[in-house]
Structure formats: C-alpha cells, structure tokens
C-alpha cells in the first residue's frame, strides 16, 4: 500500500492537537503498528490566537507562523499537511501556498461528513469561535452545497466561547450542561445536525453525544478520517 507522510501543524490548541492525534489512531483500521498512519507533528503552541486576529483584537498575524510550520514539515518529508483548527481555515490558502503541498481543510471535511451522515441535509448548526463565525467559512462551505448555517444566539454564543476559552483551553472542567442546552436550542431553530466546529469542543464530543439526542458532527473526527485517507490507510466504519 502506497503511503504519504502527513505533517500536522499543531498547537492550535495544544490539547485539541493531542486529541486529533488520538482520533487518527483510534479511527485507523489497523491490526499492527505498520497499518497506522505516518505523521510528523509540529506542536507550535506559540502561534498567535486566530480569533483575536480575525476580529481585529490583535495585530499578531498567525498566518505566516502557520505557513512557516508547514514549510518545516515539508522540509522533513511531509507530502501533505493538515491543520486541525477550524478558526485557522481562512489562513489555509496562505499555508498551502507556502508549503507547496496539499493542505487538508477541516471545514470541507466536516461539511462532507455531515452530508454523508444525513443525506438531504438542509440546515446545519455551527458551534464555533467568534472568529470562525465572523470569517463565515462554514457559512460559505455549506452554502456552496445548498445547506443553510444555523448559529447560536448572542447569549448562547457566549456560552460556547466560555467553554472553548475559559474551560477547555484553560484546562478547567467544561460546562457540558450549558453546551447541551445550546445544541438543543440550535436544533429547535431548525438545525438537523450540529457541527462541533471548534477542535476544543471536539474534546467533549463523546460526552455530548451521550447527553444529547441530536445528530452531532465532530470536526476532529471528520478531519481525522480525511487524514487517514490522504495518508493511504483505511479508517474504521
């Protein structure tokens, strides 16, 4: 089987990157070590905050730093790069241009996964950072395939941001009940599926799936499966 070494631009955030790597391993159809995916990881936690830059709250541009990371990965043999961060999606063209190899997009992978799981999907909820929502990457990707994005209310978006920044990124216990409430209200607004469109939220995917009756699509799992395929391995059903 032909294999491709995949580089991971990590640190966006650090825990989310570790979770992504775990999901790649667990979702690979493997009986031996040699059946798994070849990865090289650049855990660059010092990459400037994507949301702060996209909202104009910081002048520290994360794009050149992520592009430099991708170049480093290519220099040691990566022939594809993956960027496990939804808020980093607007910088993907810049990273890809610098790397000179394909860069896998988490937004496209997530939308494709949602449509596979629910044929006929017309409205999808998006739980994401303020930066991702402001950049409208999910809005645009969904609109391109005829699906409408449904986003939380202002009050519920504050809950989402608190879970991401004040809890998961800070290493504190997450308000799962609050997040379940957000999913419930987005579904009540017409969403047939709800995307965990932030890799910090993905850390809570298993707990959320157990606690909510609604269809939840995890962006990390979606990207992990795309990474496994790009690397030349097989994912579990």
Please give the pLDDT value at position 13: 87
- Confirm if 48 and 62 have CB atoms less than 8 A apart: yes
Domains along the sequence of the chain with CATH? 6-105+222-231 (3.40.50.1860), 107-219 (3.40.50.1860)
Please give the pLDDT value at position 237: 87
- CB atoms near residue 1 (< 10 Å): 8
Full-model pTM: 0.94
- Per-residue pLDDT tens digits for 129-160: 999 999 999 999 999 999 999 999 999 999 99
Dig out the tokens for 53 from the structure. 């830059």
Please give the pLDDT value at position 1: 57
- Confirm if 171 and 194 have CB atoms less than 8 A apart: no
> What is the rounded distance in angstroms from the CA atom of residue 134 to the CA atom of residue 35?
40
Please give the positions annotated as active site.
85, 198
């Amino acid at each position: 089987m032909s294999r491709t070494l995949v580089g991971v631009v990590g640190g966006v955030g650090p825990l989310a990157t570790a979770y992504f790597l775990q999901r790649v391993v667990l979702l690979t159809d493997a009986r031996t070590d040699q059946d798994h995916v070849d990865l090289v990881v650049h855990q660059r936690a010092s990459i400037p905050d994507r949301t702060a830059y996209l909202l104009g709250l910081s002048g520290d541009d994360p794009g050149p730093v992520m592009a430099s990371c991708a170049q480093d990965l290519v220099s040691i043999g990566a022939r594809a790069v993956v960027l496990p961060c939804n808020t980093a999606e607007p910088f993907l063209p810049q990273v890809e241009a610098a790397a000179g190899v394909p860069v896998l997009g988490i937004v496209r992978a997530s939308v494709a996964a949602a449509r596979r799981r629910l044929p006929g999907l017309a409205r999808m909820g998006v739980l994401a950072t303020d930066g991702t929502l402001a950049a409208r990457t999910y809005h645009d990707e969904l609109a391109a395939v005829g699906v409408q994005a449904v986003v939380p209310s202002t009050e519920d978006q504050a809950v989402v941001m608190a879970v991401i920044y004040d809890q998961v990124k800070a290493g504190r216990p997450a308000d799962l009940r609050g997040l379940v409430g957000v999913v419930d209200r987005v579904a009540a607004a017409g969403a047939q599926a709800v995307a965990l469109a932030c890799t910090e939220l993905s850390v809570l995917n298993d707990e959320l799936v157990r606690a909510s009756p609604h269809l939840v699509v995890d962006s990390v799992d979606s990207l992990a499966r795309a990474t496994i395929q790009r690397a030349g391995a097989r994912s579990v059903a």
